[in-house]
Amino acid sequence: MAKLRLLKTGHGDLTLAEWDKDQPETIATAEKAFAEHFTEGRLAFRLDGPGKSTPIRQFERGAPEILIVPAIQGGSDAA
């Protein structure tokens, strides 16, 4: 089963959905969860194994894992 996860700042991650590319009903559920959680300011990555991640902008049913993360916040300009 493939997984859709949401990284929660300071709290680890949360599995939002799991799907099997051969079971359409699981894909629809995962695609809906992706649309609900991939909001403005967040980034999404397709994870294809250690050191192999690709930024994505839409749900990819063939991905083994998708991770949605909050946008990186800039630091202070104070030195």
Model confidence pLDDT, tens digit, residues 12-39 = 899 999 999 889 999 999 999 999 999 9
**Whether residue 73 has pLDDT greater than 80:** no
**Whether residue 77 has pLDDT greater than 70:** no
> Which runs of E-coded beta strand occur in 1-79?
2-7, 13-19, 42-47, 53-56, 65-70
Model confidence pLDDT, tens digit, residues 43-68 = 999 999 999 999 999 999 999 999 99
Number of domains in the chain: 1
Note whether residue 49 is domain-resident: yes
Question: What residue numbers bound the domain in which 57 lies?
Answer: 2-7+18-70
**Predicted confidence band of residue 76 (pLDDT cuts 50, 70, 90):** low
Q: What is the pLDDT of residue 37?
A: 96
Note whether residue 51 is domain-resident: yes
